[in-house]
């Protein structure tokens, strides 16, 4: 474990497990690198160097007042890769982390990157706009912001008990531990940081970033994702990225890093070893 220092002095926490070809994992909102522990442990146990960081304002990283937007998140990721001198990296982004990864490619290119994986990711663009009529209405994100201001602890509880892990679906059985971990990680994020990140993940247009992808890309998405609907996220991203491979998890919710952790770990390993292409 350690820290790298961003351009504005923010300290970005990271966990660095194992040795071998590097895999860098970017987490979702309002979580931190702990949300990747199942995949990080698995990959480090299979001959890879698995690195996961806490986005600024989340977990153990500095809770900056400014910089809670995708350009800065991507630049912080660049500082991590450059400080550790990582090359031939597989970048893996879950949900908001998928946006961070996409914006990194758009701003910094793929000189250090060998592969990209987008998991339940927010690109190309979540928000409904005149040229993105299939997106979600602004009212959806305004409701999240209102819930955060009113009682963010309860907001995170409601998300964990409902749509994030699909525990509101008939027959779902998501453990209390998984749901509690979501709440705990959310409460470790700074209030302003998490609030402003809602706009970052919902209103940032990643279409030009996806057009810049020029390395093998795997897109994984559940077709019952109630947070980033499949048609808005994974399906649209895979259609836009040249040569991307789309893997759909039937009936899966948004939080597949937990609900489908074994399947996801195996699919990441297969992609890393060239068995998914």
Q: In what helix (H) or strand (E) does residue 219 lie, and over which residues does it extend?
A: strand 217-222
Backbone angles phi, psi at 263, to 5 degrees: -65, -45
Q: Is the distance from CB of 264 to CB of 119 less than 8 angstroms?
A: yes
HEC letters along 18-80: CCCEEEEEECCCCCCHHHHHHHHHHHHCCCEEEEEECCCCCCCCCCCCCCCCHHHHHHHHHHH
From 127, 142, 90, select the one nearest 233 (Cα to Cα).
Answer: 127
Picking from 206, 45, 237, the residue whose alpha carbon sits closest to that of residue 129 is 206
Tokens 């998501």 label which residue? 174
Token output for 78 = 């660049």
Q: Which two tokens stand for residue 135?
A: 């997106």
Please identify which of the residues 33, 61, 95, 202 carries the catalytic annotation.
Answer: 95
Please pick, among 16, 54, 225, 258, the residue that the annotation labels catalytic.
Answer: 225
Q: Determine contact, residues 231/132, Cβ cutoff 8 Å.
A: no
Cα–Cα dist 256/164, whole Å: 9
Asked about 254 being catalytic, the answer comes back as yes
Which residue among 27, 58, 221, 254 is the active-site one?
254
Residue 225 annotated to the active site: yes
Residue 173 a catalytic site member: no
Count of other CB atoms within 10 angstroms of residue 139: 10
The sign of the CA dihedral 11, 17, 19, 22 is negative
- As annotated, the active-site residues are 95, 225, 254
């Amino acid at each position: 474990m350690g820290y790298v220092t961003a351009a504005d002095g923010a300290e970005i926490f990271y966990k660095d497990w194992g040795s071998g070809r590097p895999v860098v994992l970017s987490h979702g909102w309002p979580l931190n690198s702990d949300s990747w522990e199942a995949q990080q442990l698995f990959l480090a146990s299979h001959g890879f160097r698995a690195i996961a960081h806490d986005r600024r304002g989340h977990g153990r990283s500095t809770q900056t007042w400014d910089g809670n937007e995708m350009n800065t998140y991507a630049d912080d990721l660049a500082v991590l890769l450059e400080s550790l001198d990582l090359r031939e990296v597989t970048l893996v982004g879950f949900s908001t982390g998928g946006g961070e990864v996409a914006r990194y490619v758009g701003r910094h290119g793929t000189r250090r990157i060998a592969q990209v994986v987008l998991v339940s990711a927010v690109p190309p663009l979540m928000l409904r706009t005149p040229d993105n009529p299939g997106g979600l209405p602004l009212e959806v994100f305004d409701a999240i912001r209102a819930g955060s201001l009113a009682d963010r602890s309860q907001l995170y509880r409601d998300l964990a008990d409902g749509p994030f892990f699909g525990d509101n679906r008939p027959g779902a059985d998501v453990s209390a531990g998984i749901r509690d971990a979501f709440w705990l990680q959310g409460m470790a994020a700074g209030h302003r940081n998490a609030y402003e990140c809602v706009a970052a993940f919902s209103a940032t247009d990643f279409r030009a970033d996806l057009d810049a992808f020029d390395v093998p890309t795997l897109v994984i998405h559940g077709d019952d994702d109630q947070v980033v609907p499949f048609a808005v996220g994974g399906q649209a991203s895979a259609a836009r990225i040249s040569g991307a491979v789309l893997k759909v998890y039937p009936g899966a919710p948004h939080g597949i890093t937990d609900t489908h952790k074994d399947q996801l770990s195996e699919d990441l390993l297969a992609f890393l070893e060239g068995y998914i292409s």
